[in-house]
Structure 1
Amino acid sequence: MSEQSCHIFLDRSRSRLHILYRCDDEYRLECRRLNRGSFLLKKDERKRDFLQISWNRLNELLTVKKYRKTVEK
């Protein structure tokens, strides 16, 4: 794993992701969770168990959110 890459692991609901990356000689694992909605993924990204993405794409994932529609009764 190079320092420029990061691996993303998502749960089924796409509301929680784990980020694995390398910083100097260390490997780091971080978790991010949305209280509402899900992370917006491209169609080909949804089919994979994990993603190897660029830091720019990770920034997009963490800033752009897709909210689920709520149904009023």
Structure 2
Amino acid sequence: MNNSKDDTRWRVSSYSNGDGQCVETAVSADVVGARDTKDLGHGPELWVSSDTWRAFVHAATTSGLTR
């Protein structure tokens, strides 16, 4: 599932400290995209359903993988 478009609005992680070790996300009604900030928009993107993203975030935050 790839929803990448030129008009996609990517958001840098709130945990970003400017050292290039961050993830950007893009959210639409039914899919969420993630990509590495180091690639400056030219690298691979991962797109998953909103339900899958919610399950991932829940698993990461409840297992102590928040940082």
Q: TM-score range by the shorter chain?
A: 0.3 to 0.5
Name whichever structure is richer in helix by fraction: 2
Q: TM-score, normalised by structure 2?
A: 0.35
Name whichever structure is richer in strand by fraction: 1
Query: Whose radius of gyration is greater, 1 or 2?
Result: 1
Tell me: higher relative CO, structure 1 or 2? Use CA pairs within 8 A at least 6 residues apart. Answer: 1
Q: TM-score, normalised by structure 1?
A: 0.34
